[in-house]
Structure 1
Amino acid sequence: MEWKQIPVGPIQANAYILWNNQKEALIIDPGAEGTRIAEEIKQNDLKPLAILLTHAHFDHIGGVDVLRDRYNLPVYLHQNERDWLEDPAQNGSAIFPMVEDIAVKPADKTIEKESFYEIGGFSFDVYETPGHSPGSVSFHFKDDNAVFSGDALFAGSIGRTDLPGGNHDQLINSIHKKLLVLPEETLVLSGHGPETTIGQEMEVNPFLNGFSL
């Protein structure tokens, strides 16, 4: 699997394009600049299969409809945030003055629980990692040693929990029980900032030190 990180929008959220040897592609968190993401898809001659959302905050969903409509793609989102795409108050765009209100059509596929997914030639696990938001999930591609953690875990930091539905203790618990149990060499591809590894965050992340289950 190959992947490309594309920081987009005013908060520079990371959108990702993943593709395999058959040029099939998945899009994760197209937060803005859908046309730019589509150009990357065109330049690499890819065939998109689906859009996966780690959560439904505005900076991760703003480009969804551009890409969904262009490629006729299903959008996957956890059921705990199924109403957020259409509601600027819940997806946060109504709170931040630097962005216009964002409303996106409902998700096509609802993630109801942790599960193993196969889409085209891709296979991955979905882990529920709430705390930053109630429907936050992480996508673990075991065969490729990579986890897309959304805004749960960052290089040297963790997601904010002061937005509606956020819960600090729940987030710390999610990180320890769902992410830090992965192999230490697992690449962590976050919703903002650079890549890191599970081992690196276990060692140096100041927000995770001293926590016990």
Structure 2
Amino acid sequence: MGAIFHHLSVGPMDNKCYIIGCPVSKEAAVVDPGAEAARILQTLEKLGLKCTQIICTHGHVDHIGALGAVQRATGARVLIHSADADMLTSPARNLSMYMGASVQYQAADRQLADGDLIQVGEQVQLKVLHTPGHTPGGICLEVVGEGILLTGDTLFAGSVGRSDFPGGNHEQMIDSIRQKILVYPPETRVYPGHGPSSTVGEEARHNPFLNGTW
């Protein structure tokens, strides 16, 4: 039996929040709870899952806006790459102070590194791919054995992430995509932080930022 995999769009910027659950223990990880905590919690309840971990692909406010509410409701541990860890505690670093808000949380329970494995329940593993470029600590997540990559704001269908925010670097991001994502089989599904899904093969062939047509 494969992983339980569900996604929903939250907030005004079509942010994708992903729920990955173990079919045996019913434990789940919530990835990028950007907004609408009540909907995320309701979805977990409908799926019969208990959130034990919240994973941030990076620390921008549109991806962590509902983190506090989801964490308080579930008691889940919070995970983020070490290079983005201070974005959870700094409204300047997570950009919320520039959007008329002040989003600030406690430090993460676990700081991630490239190659780390995150165990979700008994049967599901997520592999951390450090893909800097959008932010210094941006990550993608492989749902091991499922042919699924969550690419955050690193790779989109037909585009790539912005690099004009503090800590961004376009060349580094393209290098991250080529070295960490395009090495997967072409049929691997790509689920980004915004917009529709795609595949590794589709992006390798047709993404103008990767095939030299841009």
- 1:103-153: per-residue Cα shift (whole Å, max 9, x none)? 222211111343233232221211100000000011111311001110000
Select 1:18's aligned residue among 17, 20, 37.
20
- 1:21-75: per-residue Cα shift (whole Å, max 9, x none)? 2222110000111111001111121122211110000000011111111111101
- The aligned runs of 1:1-213 (5 Å cut-off) are 1-22=3-24, 23-96=26-99, 100-121=101-122, 122-210=124-212
CA distance in structure 1 between the partners assigned to 2:114 and 2:142 by the alignment: 14
TM-score (norm 1): 0.93
Instruction: Give the AA of the match of 1:96.
Output: M
Pairs aligned (count):
209
Answer whether contact 2:22 2:120 (CA < 8 A) is retained.
Answer: no
CA distance in structure 1 between the partners assigned to 2:120 and 2:15 by the alignment: 24
Aligned-residue CA RMSD (Å): 1.4
Answer whether contact 1:68 1:74 (CA < 8 A) is retained.
Answer: yes
Answer whether contact 2:32 2:63 (CA < 8 A) is retained.
Answer: yes
TM-score (norm 2): 0.93
Instruction: Give the AA of the match of 1:137.
Output: I
- 1:76-100: per-residue Cα shift (whole Å, max 9, x none)? 1011111111211110112235xx2
- 1:158-180: per-residue Cα shift (whole Å, max 9, x none)? 00000000000000000000000
Instruction: Give the AA of the match of 2:75.
Output: N
1:144 aligned counterpart, secondary structure? coil
Instruction: Give the AA of the match of 2:115.
Output: E
Q: Structure 1 stretches (4+) deviating beyond 3 angstroms?
A: none
- Please list every run of 5 or more consecutive structure 1 residues that lacks an aligned counterpart in the other structure: none
CA distance in structure 2 between the partners assigned to 1:210 and 1:11 by the alignment: 28
Instruction: Give the AA of the match of 2:106.
Output: K
CA distance in structure 2 between the partners assigned to 1:111 and 1:132 by the alignment: 17
